[in-house]
Structure 1
Amino acid sequence: MSAMTEDLRSDEEARADRLVRIGQPPRNRGEVLRKLVWILPWLVFLGAPVRDLLADHHTTSATAAGWVGLVAFTGTYLAVVFRTVGRPYSGWAVAALVAMMWVLAVALALSLGNSWLGLFVYVSVSCGVALPLSAAYWTIPLTTAAMMLAGWFVDDLDEAWGLFLVVLLVGYSMTGVRQLVRTTVELRKARATVAQLAANEERLRLARDLHDLLGHSLSLITLKSELAGRMLPDHPDKAAQQVADIEQVSRQALVDVREAVTGYRRPRLAGELAGAQVALTAAGVIADLPAEPDLTTVSEERESALAWALREATTNVVRHSGARRCVVELVRRQTLDGPTLELSVEDNGSGGSGKGPGNGLTGLGERLAKVGGSLEASRLKHGFRLVARVPAGTPPTSTDVGSPA
């Protein structure tokens, strides 16, 4: 996978980590401030109760009771919500605090008037954030109904209807946020598990390959070394033959190991197609890619050259083109020189900023030429097109594909 793809994944994972951190205890002062920024804007609905108390519409005792009730309600709300996105209270404690908010909202709205109906917004938020989903699904509409009844009691149904959708939908939206955070956490755990399983499978494959490559050779070398040691005093000529055999086996084992390592480092076209899908999607580019190709008649060296071409083309689209759409095609064609496998990558971007072919395209052309292929790169009226071709018949005589340009 190219460095650009890794950078895009890092950005995506950073955004996901910030989302997940909303539902976890703050680790430092910065995370505490971010949580407060996420929570405090909701306090805008407390403006009406504060204005009502400052307007001196009530008796002194009622005003004092209103301030006490408002402070208690706000403190309870902040405790419930902040602790829920930090270190949650136990189930019974949360239920008791939400019930206390519910009672305070009803009492304050009935005793002090319609300006206090906005408190039910916070009760709905607390139900959606803190209560189990099964309880939230019925307590949210119950809170909405209580708000409507309070509005009817204080003879201001217009204000109640104005808050109806706010109270109802804000609670359910909080349940959605909870499930989004939970899904993100589970997805990251699943991805980590898949990555671990893939790494374990790769280690097992490497162990099997090393055993198959070196097990027989090393056993043979050990056996012939013992024979040479026993023959050396009485039959030096036979011992010399055993030593020559040991050298030949060792050289062949070294060749096998080098070929195996080359195979591990060689990119595969199917893997690059999957990587291109991830990179383009993460960059906001609409990607149209083919299904997994049939490469039965294509040598590994030629497949590797096409894979390098796809990687370079994808990197150019993401980094330089500014494209919104990219189409990748992989087709077999019959030409005068025989069957050919053609890879084309076309985008609708600017085509980059350079006036001539860069080092990447030059290196691709050299790589494809080594396996009998060719490279074409051309600007279109609206975009850029790269076409890489390799023979799909007899494998090339040279297997030196080289390292990435």
Structure 2
Amino acid sequence: MFGSGSQAREVRRRRRAERRQWRKEHRRPGPPGPYVLLPWLLLGLGAFSNLFQGDTPNPWIGGIGLFAFNSLYISVVVRGFDKRARESRLTYVLLAALTAVTLGLAAGYGGSWLLFFPLLSLACGTVLRRHWLAVGLLVLAVAACVVAVWHEDSASTPWTLAYGTFISGAVTAALLTLSETVTELRSTRQELARAAVEKERLRFSRDLHDLLGHTISVIVVKSEAARRLAPHDMDEALRQVTDIESVGRQALTEIREAVTGYREGSLATELDRARSALTAAGIEPTVRRSGPPLSPQTEALLGWVAREAVTNVLRHSAATACAFVIDGTSDRVRLTVTDDGRNPAAPPTPGIGGTGLKGLSERLAAAGGSLEAGPGPGGGFVVMAELPADASGTSDDWAGAAENH
């Protein structure tokens, strides 16, 4: 019994430690709040002391002015930390009223009341930005210096008061601007992280569509061939079954590579698979190739095109022949896949129809190429892809093109 109680306490202690660690790791410094500027109101204690001790003439006016200054200062500072409220007309009206009260009290009483100029500068730093801030702080600094020289009884020298007035608002505005920039950067970073996750999800779903759609079509075709051949030619049927096993194992390998993001296609490999799959389906394949060697990136993209085209032929065409023509120059290369099947559902004009073809069109566009697909002039269906001979970019770049796919 004691052992179980000790274990329960240990589990609770471990959970509390994990929660503290999680809060520590996910704690993010936020922007400062308006409360950080409220303690600066203590600069007005000298004026309050003069008022309380009876050293201020017309104490009722001074008391009302002190109350009005504190109320306006708090209102302006609180609104200045809210971006929407800061840009409203009411905020500027309150700031203008605070400026009038400050000038009236400082000019009327002097002494410790001149310290309201730095407080007014702090309020201006929370509201004003850009050239308005510079103009406002310069005017305030000059006004503080002039009033201090006129009274000759300032708590500090006129130049010190002017400098303190200017620097108070400048530092406040700089800190708030920096804080807002950091907040926007953090929000942008989070948005970029979400976009990266979405990009990877789209890449994975697109690759699975291309991989499984083609592989399952080949398996179905070879299974039908094995079923037809079994009663008459068992050896050939077993060869088809062996091909099915090989295709399945290759599909597993490709899916693992797609998950890790390292899969690269090959045009030669896809053409070999196309011959095997089309022959098993009773479709005669022909391949004609001319032109200089292609870069690995171009080979990979054209391999995707050949795979998708063969998948569509096996699924939809009821064709008896399928031709692959690769021709290119030192600048451009073109792959044309033509079948003689029937495409009753094909659009009347060339265009990009199915999901796979749309994804391929986006991939090729990202690499500076193009894709056209539609009924051929003499019947059947034609898929034509054109690319630079040395297509730039990586598979990750092409994956980003599928963001709207």
TM-score if structure 1 supplies the norm length? 0.53
% identical aligned pairs: 34
Instruction: Describe how 1:76-155 pairs up with structure 2 within 5 A.
Output: 76-86=72-82, 88-155=85-152
Of residues 150, 174, 177, the one that matches 2:175 is: 177
- Structure 1 counterpart of 2:138, which letter? P
In structure 1, the residue matched to 2:50 is 52
2:56 counterpart SS class: coil
Is 1:189 the equivalent of 2:202? no
| Structure 2 counterpart SS, 1:57 | coil
The CA deviation string for residues 317-351 of structure 1, in whole angstroms up to 9 with x for no partner, is xxxxxxxxxxxxxxxxxxxxxxxxxxxxxxxxxxx
C-alpha separation between the residues in 2 aligned to 1:107 and 1:12?
51
The answer for the alignment partner of 2:164 in structure 1 is 166
What one-letter code is carried by the residue in structure 2 that aligns with 1:65? Answer: I
Partner of 2:355: none
1:225 maps to which of 210, 220, 223: 223
Q: Of the two, which has the highest radius of gyration? A: 2
Label 1:262 to 1:161 Cα distance change in 2 as closer, same or farther (>3 A): closer
Question: In structure 2, do the counterparts of structure 1 residues 12 and 128 end up closer, same or farther at CA, with 3 Å as the change threshold?
Answer: farther
Match for residue 269 of structure 1? none
CA distance in 2, matches of 1:174, 1:128: 5
Task: Determine if contact 1:95/1:131 at 8 Å carries over to the other structure.
Answer: no
SS across alignment from 1:246 = helix
Cα shift at 1:214: 4.0
Further displaced range: 150-159 or 172-181 = 150-159
1:14 aligns with 2:22: no
Change (3 A) 1:126 1:193: same
Q: Which string of whole-angstrom CA distances, capped at 9 and with x for unpartnered residues, describes residues 22-53 of structure 1?
A: 3xxxxxxxxxxx643x1321112111111110
Query: How far apart are residue 108 of structure 1 and its match?
Result: 0.8
Deviations 1:88-115 (A, max 9, x none): 1553222211111111111111222211
Structure 1 residue 116, shift from structure 2 partner? 0.3
Q: Deviations over 1:222-246 (max 9, x none)?
A: 2112323444566565444423321
> What amino acid sits opposite 1:196 in the alignment?
R
Contact 2:219 2:247 in 1 (8 A): yes
1:361-405 alpha-carbon deviations (Å, 9 max, x no partner): xxxxxxxxxxxxxxxxxxxxxxxxxxxxxxxxxxxxxxxxxxxxx
Question: Residue 118 of structure 1 aligns to a residue in which SS?
Answer: helix
**Residue 65 (structure 1) shift:** 1.0
1:126–1:171 contact (8 Å) kept in structure 2? yes
Match for 1:181: what amino acid? S
Would you say the 8 A contact 1:73–1:104 is kept in 2? yes
How many residues align structurally? 241
1:245: which partner in 2?
243
Q: What is aligned with 2:357?
A: none
Residue of 30, 41, 63 corresponding to 2:59: 63
| TM-score of the two chains, using structure 2 as the length reference | 0.53
Contact 2:105-2:113 at 8 Å conserved across structures: yes
Which letter does structure 1 place at the counterpart of 2:106?
Answer: A
Give how far 1:72 is off.
Answer: 0.8
On the 8 A contact 1:83/1:89 being kept in 2, the answer is yes
Looking at structure 2, the residues matched to 42 and 126 of structure 1 have their Cα atoms a distance apart, in angstroms, of: 11
For residue 73 of structure 1, report the CA deviation from its aligned partner.
0.8
- Partners of 2:183 and 2:261 lie apart in 1 by 36
Q: How does 1:323-338 map to 2 (within 5 A)?
A: none
Give the match's secondary structure for 2:85.
coil
Q: What CA distance in whole angstroms lies between the structure 1 residues aligned with 2:25 and 2:158?
A: 42
Q: CA deviation at 1:154?
A: 1.5
Determine whether 1:198 maps to 2:211.
Answer: no
Of residues 221-230 and 92-101 in structure 1, the stretch that sits farther from structure 2 once superposed is 221-230
Does the C-alpha gap of structure 1 residues 256 and 90 become closer, same or farther in structure 2, counting only changes over 3 Å?
A: closer
Give 2:378's aligned residue. Answer: none
Deviates more, 1:66-75 or 1:185-194: 185-194
**Aligned partners of 1:128 and 1:174 also within 8 Å:** yes
CA distance in 1, matches of 2:23, 2:201: 25
Q: How far did residue 248 of structure 1 move?
A: 2.4
Alpha carbons of structure 1 residues 162 and 259: separation in structure 2 relative to 1, 3 Å: closer
Identify if the C-alpha distance between structure 1 residues 175 and 90 changes in structure 2 by more than 3 Å, giving closer, same or farther: closer
Question: 1-side partners of 2:235 and 2:203: how far apart?
Answer: 41
Aligned residue in 1 for 2:315: none
Two-structure CA RMSD over aligned residues (Å): 3.0
Quote the Cα distance in structure 1 between the aligned partners of 2:99 and 2:184.
32
Q: Deviations over 1:263-309 (max 9, x none)?
A: 77xxxxxxxxxxxxxxxxxxxxxxxxxxxxxxxxxxxxxxxxxxxxx
Q: Which residue identity does 2:152 align to in structure 1?
A: D
Distance 1:124 1:9, change over 3 A: farther
Deviation (angstroms), 1:130: 1.0
Alignment-derived partner of residue 156 in structure 1: 153
Q: Which letter does structure 2 place at the counterpart of 1:224?
A: K
Equivalent pair of 1:114/1:159 in contact (CA under 8 Å)? no
Where do 5+ consecutive residues of structure 2 fail to align? Answer: 1-19, 263-405
Q: Separation in 2 of the partners of 1:188 and 1:243? A: 56
